[in-house]
Chains A and B, each alone.
Chain A
Amino acid sequence: RKEVEQDPGPFNVPEGATVAFNCTYSNSASQSFFWYRQDCRKEPKLLMSVYSSGNEDGRFTAQLNRASQYISLLIRDSKLSDSATYLCVVYYGQNFVFGPGTRLSVLP
């Protein structure tokens, strides 16, 4: 089993749709959790950290379920500019472990 797994995607959604991505991690000692976005041939950029109580940043909501070792990202009112690959990242020990990413295409 891979340490961090994500929905394989791709997700193709119309503008204005709500889309949710799921991520599971295998190490129960994981300490910190993040969502990054990566545009084609660009560097990953932090979208948001994920906190135990859940957190929201505009149209984006992240949830963490430590008992189930599960992280989610919800995007409301999708924009064309949201098209990217979304990376789930987990930190434990001294390493960041990246999931393979889920590609999102928002269609006009």
Chain B
Amino acid sequence: NAGVTQTPKFQVLKTGQSMTLQCAQDMNHEYMSWYRQDPGMGLRLIHYSVGAGITDQGEVPNGYNVSRSTTEDFPLRLLSAAPSQTSVYFCASSLKGNQPQHFGDGTRLSIL
């Protein structure tokens, strides 16, 4: 099983550029979420979705947009990249909200 697939694995952007981080899961999970992890810090929730067509903000949503048009896909869009968004981004999914999450391999993003 593929599980949770994130692309790309690495990306370098210039300040002001926009891009979309892709996340797809093949487990028919309802709940999906995006986190960022900065050096020496825990994971912080950016956005989450409890099902197709439903999204909500997490702890650090500014500068990011999400959509959930299908159960499988949950892309994260950076609107205008800033150096403060340099981080490792993880996508995760769970069958339902209160059940264990499965994580993708992560996307390492650098903003110059």
Partner-B contacts on A (CB < 8 A)? 31-32, 34, 41-46, 49, 87, 91, 94-101
Contacts and interface: CB of A to CB of B under 8 A. Distances in A.
B103 A45 contact: yes
18 contacts: A43-B90, A43-B103, A44-B90, A44-B103, A46-B100, A46-B101, A46-B102, A49-B100, A87-B42, A91-B97, A91-B98, A94-B97, A95-B48, A96-B33, A96-B92, A96-B101, A98-B44, A100-B41
Interface string B74-92: 0000000000000010101
* Residue among B44, B45, B97, B100 with the highest chain A CB neighbour number at 10 A: B100
Given A34-B100, A45-B103, A46-B100, 5 more contacts: A42-B105, A43-B90, A44-B43, A87-B43, A91-B98
A99 B103 contact: no
Interface in B57-97: 58, 88, 90, 92, 97
Contact of A95 (B41, B58, B104): B58
* Range, interface on chain B: 20 to 34
Contacts of B35: 98
Contacts of A91: 97-98
User: A-side binding surface: helix, strand, loop or mixed?
Assistant: strand
Contacts of B99: 32
B56 to A, nearest CB: 7
A100 B42 contact: yes
Contact of A43 (B50, B56, B104): B104
B98 A32 contact: yes
Nearest to A49: B100
Looking at B48, B50, B103, B105, the one whose CB has the most chain A CB atoms below 10 A away is B103
A45 B106 CA distance: 12
A99 B42 contact: yes
Nearest to B49: A94
Contact of B48 (A34, A41, A45, A94): A94
